[in-house]
Amino acid sequence: MAIGWRWRIKGRRLPGISGVIAMAGIAGGGRVGRLSDRRRREPTSVINLGCSMATVKQGWNTRDIPDQSGRVVIITGGNSGLGYEAARALAGRGAQVVLACRSMPKAEAAMQRIADEPGHRSPIPMQLDVADVDSVHAFAKAFRSRYDRLDVLINNAGIMAIPRQLSRDGFEMQLATNHLGHFALTGLLLPLLQATSGARVVPVSSIAARYARIAFDNLMGERGYSTWHAYNRSKLANLLFGLELHRRLQSVGSGVMSVTAHPGASMTNLFASPGARITKRLLAPLAGPLFHSADRGALPILYAATSPDAQSGGYYGPDGFQETSGDVAAAHVPRAARNRQVAARLWRASESLTGVYYLPD
Ligand SMILES: NC(=O)c1ccc[n+]([C@@H]2O[C@H](COP(=O)([O-])OP(=O)(O)OC[C@H]3O[C@@H](n4cnc5c(N)ncnc54)[C@H](OP(=O)(O)O)[C@@H]3O)[C@@H](O)[C@H]2O)c1
């Protein structure tokens, strides 16, 4: 449930309560069911998709990642936070990781830090501003000219709770970065994914998706904008996309998997925006019990990207209180993400906005 209440103290806007709830995943957010019982929740993400779900091995961690030698993995936003931790873990298992980043100095610094770790394969930094459709085309073209395979595409880059801005293409910036750019990137790289046996796409969503709905008459926030609602909606878009991509891949008989993950809650640079900084301060007392470290937050993403037991159409996240932290398990799929009409409509809107058309309904 997205609640738009705001408070002001000395004229300063405090974050909407939905933002606090979304990030903390704490009680009051509504339709999450009895999430303390992981076993009860486990099949939820797949029952709706009509496939069976293997149980996640308890305590799954980076030691369970199979050998990744010879595999090529793109991680958008791989220079920081969860993307960096995922890159580090995959490079440690021999993957050729491509850090697809908007800042080349940051990408090179991350590459160096990983390369300096014993037994880690040096990642390759490449320029990508995922909020800019031209940059997405340029990245995809450059990538295709260098690589003839793509085993995993991790759609991780993200921004959170920023004041309303428009991207170069005129899209609301959180939707442009978190969803639309990744939608276009996936479409442009699909032929390479299709040509790679066992390839996967891993959209990175959030528990924030629970507090959102897609308002098609206000996609760009032109009729009213809330920093947190826009974030929540972009993360619901990630989950709708991951599930719809699975359905469309299946319907054309593709072997490419779409496995969505969310990290729970980790104090990363995502909390650097002004709105998120205030939330971070409000949540500080809860950070110990509710948040986990970025390397733990990366585990559901790594599971989705590498585990032989991960299911296409599955959704994975931490198993603790309100899925904010804990071990990897099947995650709760909010009702709004199960709406196939909305998913199909979002797909069509994403195609016409980005000009990248693929996998027709
Ligand atoms: N941390 C959490 O609690 C949490 C919870 C739920 C979901 N998530 C999701 O996890 C993902 C990673 O977030 P994080 O926590 O690791 O945050 P982070 O440390 O801020 O990392 C975000 C990454 O995305 C990159 N990025 C932002 N805009 C970009 C653009 N236009 N083009 C290319 N890269 C761009 C950032 O680049 P710069 O370094 O240049 O800014 C950074 O590398 C996001 O999708 C987020 O929504 C995080």
Cα-to-centroid distance, 40 and ligand 1 (Å): 31
pLDDT at residue 8 is higher than 50: no
**Quick check: CB of 102 below 6 Å from ligand 1?**
yes
Cα-to-centroid distance, 293 and ligand 1 (Å): 15
Cα-to-centroid distance, 223 and ligand 1 (Å): 26
The three-class DSSP label of residue 258 is strand
> What is the rounded average pLDDT of the residues 291-308?
97
The residue to mutate among 135, 204, 268, 322, having the most atoms of ligand 1 within 8 angstroms of its beta carbon, is 268
Per-residue pLDDT at 274: 78
Residue nearest ligand 1's atom 4 by CA: 265
Q: Is-catalytic flag, 231?
A: yes
8-354: CATH, from 3.40.50.720, 3.30.590.10, 3.40.50.20, 3.40.50.300: 3.40.50.720
The structure tokens listed for 250 are 């299946």
- DSSP calls for 231-249: HHHHHHHHHHHHHHHHHHH
pLDDT at residue 87 is higher than 70: yes
pLDDT at residue 212 is higher than 70: yes
**Quick check: CB of 262 below 6 Å from ligand 1?**
yes
Strands across the sheet containing 328-330: 260-261, 315-318, 328-330
- Model confidence at 22, in pLDDT bands (50, 70, 90)? low
Q: Which residues 6+ apart lie within 8 Å of 183 measured at CB?
A: 241, 350, 351, 354, 356
**Quick check: CB of 25 below 6 Å from ligand 1?**
no
**Quick check: CB of 157 below 6 Å from ligand 1?**
yes
> What is the rounded average pLDDT of the residues 206-232?
96
Atom of ligand 1 nearest to the CA of 208: 6
> What is the rounded average pLDDT of the residues 3-12?
33
Cα-to-centroid distance, 265 and ligand 1 (Å): 12
Closest CA to 267 of 290, 294, 285: 294
Give the end-to-end CA distance of the chain in Å, rounded to a whole number.
29
**Quick check: CB of 158 below 6 Å from ligand 1?**
yes
Residue from 84, 147, 225, 231 carrying the catalytic annotation: 231
**pTM reported for the whole predicted model:** 0.90
pLDDT at residue 190 is higher than 80: yes
Q: Report the residue count for the chain.
A: 361
Per-residue pLDDT at 217: 97
Cα-to-centroid distance, 114 and ligand 1 (Å): 18
**Burial classification of residue 219, based on how many CB atoms lie within 10 Å of its CB (0-12 exposed, 13-18 middle, 19 or more buried):** buried
CA angle 122–123–125, rounded 5-degree value: 135
State the Cα–Cα distance between residues 295 and 82, nearest whole angstrom. 7
Q: Which residues 6+ apart lie within 8 Å of 167 measured at CB?
A: 131, 132, 173, 176, 177
Per-residue pLDDT at 289: 78
| 274-286 confidence digits (pLDDT tens) | 778 877 788 777 7
| 324-352 confidence digits (pLDDT tens) | 999 999 999 999 999 999 999 999 999 99
